[in-house]
Structure 1
Amino acid sequence: GEAEDGFPSVLRHALPRLRAGLAAGLSLNDAMIDALLLLFTIVEDTNVLGRAGREGLA
């Protein structure tokens, strides 16, 4: 999973998005929220999958 692999989605997607947001003039808080929302769209929540199955993601 993400933790075992060293959080590749953070390094490949969220960090560049954070930097871009800051460069565009977003506050640190807003840039971090934007990066977090991006992660929500690309990372599967395997904890929920393990506990509730695919139905739990709905």
Structure 2
Amino acid sequence: MTMKEYKHLNLVQRSVISALKASGIKQKDIALYAECNPSTVSRELSRNKTKTGKYSPKVA
């Protein structure tokens, strides 16, 4: 049985997530552009919010 290799998102991917989320793009489509799993986008958006509730790639 092999283990999956997990990779951290880089700043470019986080910037893509931020820009597309601000544009109102669906998480599934954001994942395609950021080249990651939709669940990764979901976790990234929920974990790295500012106090106002908006996503910030710099918080990560």
Q: TM-score, normalised by structure 2?
A: 0.41
Larger helix fraction of residues = 1
Q: TM-score, normalised by structure 1?
A: 0.42
